[in-house]
Structures are given as structure tokens and as C-alpha cells.
Amino acid sequence: MRPESFPKAERVRKSDEFTRILQGGRRVRGRLITAVWTIDGEDRDAPNRVGFAAGKRLGNAVLRNRLKRHLREAYRRNKRELPCRGLSIVFLATRATVGRSHAEIRDDLVTVLRGIASSLESPSDP
């Protein structure tokens, strides 16, 4: 598998999975993006699973899908910033994301990924 690919096995696709992650996960906020993540079991060989969401209050379907495409591409190119495995993550576009360039979204997503990685290294449990 190529390191920048994004196969279906690495995606969160079902509504109940999104709900479980959003209700029971830990949050890391960036300037433009919020990530909610959970650790899925003890299987460190499992790939990280990722989903993307943009609420209706952000704009019409065309704008929301564009935001999610930017988030997906930014994650696909920078997923190696997150060295751990076995996580489920949902990236949420915020109002601040609307109208931003792909480079700004990418930079904030990398910051959020590094925040997740650093919170995994620190032994503080909620």
C-alpha cells in the first residue's frame, strides 16, 4: 500500500461510528479544525480510521463537500504526522474553515495531528 493512499479500511463511514466517536472522544482544537478521537482497543496493528464532517450551518452542500475534500486531501498527504495506530478520528470543519485556502487548512490539520500525538504521549487520562 502506498503511504499516501486512503483506502476504505481507513475511513469512518457509518453514522453510529461517527456518533460513538463524537460523544465519547477526546477533543483537540485547532484554529480552523476540531478533531475528536478515541482509541479503538489494544490492536496497534490496526490502521487509524478517519471521518470528516461539516455541519449544515456552514453553508450549502457544495461548500460543505468542498471543505471535506480539503480536509481529506490534507489528511491523506500528512497522515504520517500521526505515528500511532488504532485510533478513530473525526475531523470537524468549523465556521473559521469557510473561505480558507487549502494551505491554511493543511497547516491547521497538521497542528491538530501533532496535538493528538502529543496527548497520546502524555499519561493524563480524562
Beta strands in 23-106 (DSSP E): 26-29, 33-39, 49-53, 87-93
pLDDT, residue 25, reads 94
What pTM did the predictor assign?
A: 0.90
* Domain residue limits, the chain: 9-118
Per-residue pLDDT, averaged over 79-107, amounts to: 93
How much of the chain exceeds pLDDT 90, in percent?
Answer: 70
pLDDT, residue 75, reads 95
Q: What is the mean pLDDT of the chain?
A: 90
Read off φ and ψ for residue 55, nearest 5 degrees: -70, 160
What residues are paired with 53 via a beta bridge?
Answer: 92
What 3-state class would DSSP assign to 9? Answer: helix
pLDDT score of 79 more than 70:
yes
pLDDT, residue 125, reads 54
pLDDT score of 44 more than 80:
no
Per-residue pLDDT, averaged over 86-106, amounts to: 96
Q: What is the pLDDT of residues 8-22, one digit of tens each?
A: 889 999 999 999 999
pLDDT, residue 2, reads 64
Please identify, in words, the CATH class of the domain defined by 9-118. Answer: alpha beta
Placement of cell 475511513 in the chain? 11
Task: Identify how many contiguous H helices and E strands the chain contains and give both numbers.
Answer: 3, 4
Report yes or no: 88 and 26 within 8 Å, Cβ to Cβ: no
